[in-house]
Amino acid sequence: MMTVKEKVYEFKTKNKEGFVQSEIDALLKEFANINFDKFKLALSRITCMMINDEIVIYHTDIINALNCGIDNRLMDESEWD
């Protein structure tokens, strides 16, 4: 079984820097029991970038948000960038 980190880094994205929303939506389908509210809350205070007029979210932020959603918890201070 792949870890969250492996799934995120092996997921095909069009930008090497990270995920656009459609890619996040596709990735989330692989996590049936995730708490989406905790996932979204973890992504609410991140740093991101714009590429070709699309918001791109870094791999590490997706990993942290997934872990929060899977564990049904808020982000820990040590996870903030």
- pLDDT tens-digit series, residues 31-80: 989 999 999 999 998 999 999 999 999 999 999 999 999 999 998 877 76
| Rounded-to-integer distance, Cα 22 and Cα 75, Å | 23
Which residues constitute the domain of residue 52? Answer: 17-72
Residue 50 inside a domain? The answer is yes
Strand 54-58 with 18-19, pairing: antiparallel
Cα distances from 79 to residues 12, 13, 69, in angstroms, run: 24, 23, 14
Residue 81 — pLDDT band, cuts 50, 70, 90?
low
Residue 47 inside a domain? The answer is yes
Number of domains in the chain: 1
The alpha carbon torsion through 39, 70, 47, 58 (nearest 10 deg) reads: -120
Residue 64: name the closest of 50, 49, 78, 48 by CA: 78
pTM: 0.93
Residue 52 inside a domain? The answer is yes
Residue 10 — pLDDT band, cuts 50, 70, 90?
very high
